[in-house]
Structure 1
Amino acid sequence: MELALSTRTDGDRSVVAARGEIDLYSAPGLREHLRNLVSDGVRRLTVDLNSVEFLDSTGLGVLVGTLKRLREVGGTLVILCDQERILKIFRLTGLDQVFDIQDSASPDGS
């Protein structure tokens, strides 16, 4: 399955909704999309993974890199996820302690 991305604005936050699989083949597209948003001045970013069916280490690397870039410019990253199979990956890698992971559809980013 391919990865589909859509972006919307929710107040001062940009929300990127991902649908499909984030893996070795699709992660570069996600990386470019997120990098472009940060380059365009987005400082409050949410990545919605609620419709993601698969996430591998390459996808995790993209999210970690985006978090790092945002922190360098004083920004924030919220991960929206209510998928137990995806949340398990964050827990197993310890990244649940690094990311602000929420299951709410309208994160406040705090």
Structure 2
Amino acid sequence: MDLTIEVAHDEHEQVRKVVLIGEIDAYTAPKLKETIVPLTEENGVEVVIDMHAISYMDSTGLGVFISALKSTKEHGSSLTFMNPQERVYRLFKITGLTEIMNIQTDYTVRGGM
């Protein structure tokens, strides 16, 4: 199992775009947390996480994203998730995280899952 993390900084707009490719599980979650949480600690920064290429995620991935969300509240930043595949989106939905996280996807446009 492998996870590729690509981070792009747009200093003019205070946006950090993170593209995730692969799987998020107990083995890859620490690497993900080491990358994402520090980005959310920058005051006023918008962190956008593109999840279109995540084929699998378990509860450890959710834990990382909850930590990142808590960090945004403490540091005045924001967090947006883009384009999760249906199976990954279902995990957010089942756990109720779609109610507290900004997740942008075609599924929400079509009326939910």
TM-score bracket for this pair, using the shorter chain length: 0.7 to 0.9
List gaps (5 residues or longer) in structure 1: 105-110
2:66 paired residue among 57, 64, 67: 64
Task: Give the whole-Å Cα distance in 2 for the aligned partners of 1:40 and 1:78.
Answer: 15
Map of 1:79 onto structure 2: 81
List gaps (5 residues or longer) in structure 2: 107-113
Aligned length in residues: 104
Map of 1:37 onto structure 2: 39
Q: Secondary structure at the match of 1:48?
A: strand
1:3 equivalenced with 2:36 (yes/no): no
Q: For each residue in 1:22-51, what CA deviation from the matched residue of structure 2 results, as whole angstroms up to 9, or x when unmatched?
A: 000000000001123234557211111110
Q: For each residue in 1:80-106, what CA deviation from the matched residue of structure 2 results, as whole angstroms up to 9, or x when unmatched?
A: 1241111111110000111100138xx
* Alpha-carbon contact 1:18-1:51 (below 8 Å) kept: yes
Residues 37-46 or 81-90, more deviating: 37-46
Q: AA paired with 1:96?
A: T
* TM-score after normalising by structure 2: 0.83
Q: Higher Cα Rg: structure 1 or 2?
A: 2
Cα distance, 1:98–1:39 mapped onto 2, change above 3 Å: closer
* TM-score after normalising by structure 1: 0.85
Map of 2:109 onto structure 1: none
Cα RMSD after superposing both structures: 1.7
Q: AA paired with 1:29?
A: K
Task: Give the whole-Å Cα distance in 2 for the aligned partners of 1:39 and 1:76.
Answer: 10
Task: Give the whole-Å Cα distance in 1 for the aligned partners of 2:69 and 2:24.
Answer: 17
Query: Once the two structures are aligned, what percentage of the paired residues are identical?
Result: 35
